[in-house]
């Protein structure tokens, strides 16, 4: 858990024990009283783990598939080695019908351990 989530848990426990008022909880956490009650119900129902964000540990919905990344790396190594990221993205769109942004292509190549063929001139 992050520090802010731990802080929320500590404040909620104090509120449940009766050591803090609802206004104090809202002020300390920087949320409205309504949101404080929602957090309290969430904490009582699911414990400390319920305070953590629900998408933690999941892959983003818009991430590129691993098979596509591997295909791009293989195409670069076998056919288009030596081209820069911009030209490679254009070649992928034109010949392979793979439409990716230049930044995505550059990131995939760097993750695959493929450095640019030519370094930038001075």
pLDDT band at residue 12 using 50, 70 and 90 as cut-offs: very high
On average, the pLDDT of the chain sits at 90
Cα→Cα distances 109→30, 61, 87, 99, 116, Å: 42, 21, 13, 15, 8
Compute the average pLDDT of residues 97-108.
93
Place 102 in a pLDDT band, splitting at 50, 70 and 90: very high
List pLDDT tens digits, range 50-93: 888 888 888 888 999 999 999 999 999 999 888 888 999 999 99
The pLDDT assigned to 28 comes to 95
- The pLDDT of residue 118 is 61
51 C-beta neighbours (distance < 10 Å), count:
19
Which of 119 and 100 is assigned the larger pLDDT? Answer: 100
Q: What is the pLDDT of residue 70?
A: 95
Helical spans, DSSP H, in the chain: 3-17, 22-29, 33-46, 66-78, 85-91, 102-111
What pTM does this model have? Answer: 0.58
Domain boundaries, the chain: 3-51, 66-111
Per-residue pLDDT for 16 more than 80?
Answer: yes
> Whats the size of the chain, residue-wise?
122
């Amino acid at each position: 858990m992050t520090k802010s989530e731990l802080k929320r848990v500590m404040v909620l426990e104090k509120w449940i024990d009766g050591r803090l008022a609802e206004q104090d909880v809202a002020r300390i956490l920087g949320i409205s009283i309504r949101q404080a009650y929602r957090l309290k119900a969430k904490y009582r129902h699911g414990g400390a783990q319920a305070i953590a964000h629900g998408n933690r540990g999941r892959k983003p919905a818009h991430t590129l598939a691993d098979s596509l990344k591997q295909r791009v790396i293989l195409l670069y190594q076998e056919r288009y080695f030596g081209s820069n990221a911009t030209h490679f993205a254009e070649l992928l769109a034109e010949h392979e019908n793979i439409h990716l942004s230049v930044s995505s292509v550059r990131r995939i190549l760097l993750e695959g351990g493929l450095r640019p063929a030519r370094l930038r001139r001075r």
